[in-house]
Amino acid sequence: MIRFRTLPLALALAAAFGVTACGGTAPTTQSTNERPSMSGQKDQVVALLKSIETGDPAPVAAINPDKYIQHNLGAADGLAGFGALMQLLPKGSARADTVRAFQDGDFVFTHTDYNFFGPKIGFDIFRFENGRIVEHWDNLQEKPAGANPSGHTMTDGPARSQDAAQTEDNKRLVRAFVEDILVNGRMDKLAGYFDGDNYVQHNPKIADRLSGLGDALAAMAKAGVTMSYSRIHRVLGEGNFVLVVSEGDFAGKHSSFYDLFRVKDGKIAEHWDTIETIPPQSEWKNTNGKF
């Protein structure tokens, strides 16, 4: 079974506190992913995440120092919480390679291959207000050593959004899928969301195609591993990419689900995700909640 661990994210504030624990550039792995074209606020977010690796202080200016609401439960609220976390990060160990960055109104959401306190894959959401970052959510999962049964990693695949005019239609489609299938278990509606058996899967334990998903769920049930979605908290999209933030339980633990879908011709074509255990409230470092 995959083990999930709650760890702080967006540690790019080291320079703001005079901490150099993340200084230096860790080696990076050349990727064949097509990188998205980014501008404006997406550029600011990607630079901020990259500064986790480089220690560059300039990107921190994108954050409003008077209002920064933190939803990573391992970090104290505001900028000061990051200063304490930075002191725990081994020097030269950090890496941040943002594979995808999308924007929906005041929200920028990213998909990043990290190395801090070990390899992880993470989704981050940043909210802008009056041109500056004022709020942050994330979801992290430990990165597996190899590919999934179909040879995919947790981050490979298309990175550029298309069909900008279809954003709202695609968000409605994906929300309906999560509500129907994952929250309410209306399996009779499943086939309507897909183009036959065609479905590319990046979950580290599940193979491609709907049949691969069915086999994985059957194996989980046989092993006594349960997964349930109870509530959708947020749906964000840019063109044919839609991110859904949900709450539920995995393997008997209160969990946060971040699911990224690629839509093609009105059908769900591809899926990436992270699952993170939500710690008991007694362990939270802030009172803002995960969602």
Tell me the mean pLDDT in the region 99-124. Answer: 96
pLDDT digits (tens, 9 = 90+) for 206-246: 999 988 888 888 888 889 899 999 999 999 999 999 999 99
Contact 291, 256 (CB under 8 A): yes
For the chain, list the domains and their CATH numbers: 15-148 (3.10.450.50), 164-277 (3.10.450.50)
Who has greater pLDDT, 33 or 279? 279
Q: Does residue 7 carry a pLDDT above 70?
A: no
Report how far residue 129's alpha carbon sits from residue 127's, in angstroms, rounded to the nearest whole number.
Answer: 7
- Report which residue type is found at 157: G
**What Å distances lie between residue 223 and 1, 5, 218, 251, CA to CA?**
10, 21, 9, 10
Q: What is the pLDDT of residues 53-96, one digit of tens each?
A: 898 889 989 999 999 999 999 989 987 777 676 667 788 888 99
Cβ atoms of 56 and 46 closer than 8 Å: no
3-state secondary structure of 100: strand
For residues 142 and 6, the model is more confident at 142
What is the largest distance, in Å, between two alpha-carbon atoms of the chain?
Answer: 57
Whole-number average pLDDT of the chain = 86
Within a 13 Å sphere around the CA of 28, how many CA atoms are in the beta-carbon half? 16
What was the pLDDT predicted at 12?
35
pLDDT of residue 3: 31
Say which range, 50-54, 176-180, 238-242, has the weakest mean pLDDT: 50-54
